[in-house]
Amino acid sequence: MTKYNYTVIFEPAEEGGYIVHVPALNGLTTEGDTFEEARMMALDAIKGYLETLLEKDLPIPEDVQFPQSHLAYLVLAAYAAGGVIRGLQYLRQ
């Protein structure tokens, strides 16, 4: 089983809910009305993205490694906006 880990940024949407960004996957973006729905949508989007790459025999990207200063900025920016930065795992058998 192969395990992929990606940094996922949850940003509160002005109209409610969350916008979700996965920087390592070419800016993959999705959304959800609640945090849990946004998390599930992100997992589904990551799964679909990676499955498409595998079907086309394309390389799977590594997670974006943010420099400590950049990561601190992302955490502060997300915190200021009420957002959360989380890591999600996708397991493929």
pLDDT at 76: 47
Q: What is the residue-level pLDDT of the chain in tens, covering all 93 positions?
A: 677 788 888 888 889 988 888 888 987 999 999 988 988 898 899 989 988 998 999 999 988 776 554 444 444 454 444 544 455 444 443
Span 2-92 CATH architecture: 2-Layer Sandwich (3.30)
The number of angstroms, rounded, from the C-alpha of 89 to the middle of its chain's C-alpha atoms is 10
Give the residue among 93, 87, 83, 80 at the shortest CA–CA distance from 7.
87
What residue spans define the domains of the chain? 2-92
pTM for this model (two decimals): 0.71
